[in-house]
């Protein structure tokens, strides 16, 4: 209730809706408002009030509490739902002051007591205070909304920046992988093919979704250590001597050392290190066995063997797909992880032929193109 004297001032301009089932009350209140210079509409029920609110510009509602049909409290609930910024004063009987307080708890801005206080000062004070509170609430709401917009905008900018950084990383890595293939010309396209073969096997195995990117990057960069192998050994057409083979085999460790310091490639580095390990312990550099070898490296081993056998070499032509599949089948549980080999054998030959055709078309350009890089990037991400 407003008690402090507030001078009659025309500081507020409100259109008021008076809701009361008694016509005399409506008339008295309309007269009081007119005295204050405030225009008003009247409604004889809550239902009529809601209809008027839909069609008229109303800023404040002064509603009786006890009405036949929709009560003042029900009207208050509906007004708050649909017009949260509306000023709402509840009119209660002398005996209903407790209910008036309850109405304020449920969203009314103030209450007036019946028989209606016809003191215009009191009505004006009540309307003025409620109107100021509503304006403050609106300003706080606008401010919060503005802050949310700024936060959303900056979050979006941050995401965009992260995406750009990620793309830059990918492009750098992809160019590196392509450089390995270009240097090691007898195996042209090898990195690209084992990258795609490994992804295909990993997808078919399932449960490796979180590792897909590491597997892809490990396969793509597996021979990065070869950049440090002298041409005389790397490109030697004949058989390597024992000493040369030992130098050649260092590429697994060199590749690991090159990549391990890059945090987002730490897991891919493990695959690079172990990409020549074999499940029966016959591989290098450590002679690790099945469970000691990262899953990505076990997948790679099958992809690598498959590609090596189905590609031309200086000393022989490419072997048919079927022959290479039989070799992997025989090696399952020995050099190759039996589960990986089983999944590999379950993938139809057309899938491998499709990848082979696709990569052969890319090789025709000899160099990596921008669209090529983007296509590889999408493939790597599809498993994320
Ligand atoms: Fe290698």
Q: 276, 284 in Cβ contact below 8 A?
A: yes
Q: How are beta strands 60-64 and 40-43 bridged, if at all?
A: unpaired
pLDDT at position 11, please?
57
**Alpha carbon of 120 to ligand 1 centroid (Å):** 93
pLDDT at position 276, please?
96
**Alpha carbon of 180 to ligand 1 centroid (Å):** 11
pLDDT at position 57, please?
93
Cis amide linkage into residue 115, ω under 30° from 0: yes
Distances from the Cα of 204 to the Cαs of 94, 158, 194, in angstroms?
A: 78, 34, 15
pLDDT at position 332, please?
95
**Alpha carbon of 224 to ligand 1 centroid (Å):** 8
Question: What is the rounded CA–CA span in Å between residue 45 and residue 63?
Answer: 9
Q: How far is CA 99 from the centre of its chain?
A: 48
pLDDT at position 4, please?
42
**Alpha carbon of 17 to ligand 1 centroid (Å):** 84
Residues with CB under 5 A from ligand 1 (ion): 223
- List alpha helices for 184-310, DSSP H: 190-205, 212-220, 231-234, 242-249, 251-259, 266-273, 295-309
Q: What is the sign, positive or negative, of the torsion defined by CA atoms of 263, 264, 268, 272?
A: negative
**Alpha carbon of 256 to ligand 1 centroid (Å):** 11
Q: Which residues of the chain have pLDDT under 50?
A: 1-9, 364-370, 372-373, 383-384
pLDDT at position 238, please?
82
pLDDT at position 378, please?
57
Q: 183, 234 in Cβ contact below 8 A?
A: yes
State both tokens at 366. 């000899």
């Amino acid at each position: 209730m407003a008690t402090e004297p507030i001078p009659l001032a025309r500081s507020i301009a409100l259109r008021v809706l008076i809701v009361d089932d008694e016509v005399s009350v409506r008339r008295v209140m309309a007269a009081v408002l007119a005295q204050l210079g405030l225009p008003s509409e009247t409604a004889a029920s809550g239902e009529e009030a809601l209809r008027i609110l839909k069609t008229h510009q109303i800023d404040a509602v002064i509603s009786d509490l006890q009405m036949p049909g929709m009560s003042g409290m029900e009207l208050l609930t509906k007004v708050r739902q649909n017009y949260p910024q509306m000023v709402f004063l509840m009119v209660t009987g002398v005996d209903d002051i407790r209910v008036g307080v309850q109405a304020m708890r449920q969203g009314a801005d103030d209450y007036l007591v019946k028989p209606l206080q016809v003191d215009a000062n009191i009505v004006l004070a009540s309307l003025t205070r409620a109107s100021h509170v509503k304006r403050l609430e609106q300003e706080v709401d606008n401010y919060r909304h503005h802050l949310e917009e700024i936060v959303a905008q900056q979050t979006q900018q941050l995401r965009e920046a992260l995406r750009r950084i990620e793309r830059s990383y990918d492009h750098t890595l992809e160019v590196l992988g392509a450089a390995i293939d270009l240097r090691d010309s007898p195996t042209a396209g090898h990195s690209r093919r084992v990258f795609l073969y490994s992804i295909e096997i990993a997808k078919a195995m399932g449960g490796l979704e979180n590792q897909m990117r590491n597997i892809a990057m490990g396969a793509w960069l597996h021979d990065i250590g070869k950049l440090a192998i002298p041409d005389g050994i790397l490109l030697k057409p004949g058989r390597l001597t024992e000493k040369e083979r030992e130098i050649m085999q260092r590429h697994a460790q060199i590749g690991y050392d090159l990549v391990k310091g890059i945090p987002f490639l730490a897991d891919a580095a493990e695959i690079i290190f172990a990409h020549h390990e074999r499940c029966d312990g016959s591989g290098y550099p450590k002679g690790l066995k099945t469970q000691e070898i990262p899953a990505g490296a076990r997948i790679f081993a099958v992809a690598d063997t498959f590609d090596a056998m189905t590609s031309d070499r200086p000393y022989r032509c490419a072997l048919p797909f079927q022959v290479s599949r039989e070799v992997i089948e025989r090696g399952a549980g020995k050099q190759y992880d039996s589960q990986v080999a089983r999944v590999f054998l379950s993938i139809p030959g057309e899938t491998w032929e499709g990848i082979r055709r696709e990569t052969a078309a890319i090789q025709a350009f000899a160099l990596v193109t921008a669209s090529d890089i983007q296509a590889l990037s999408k493939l790597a991400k599809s498993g994320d």
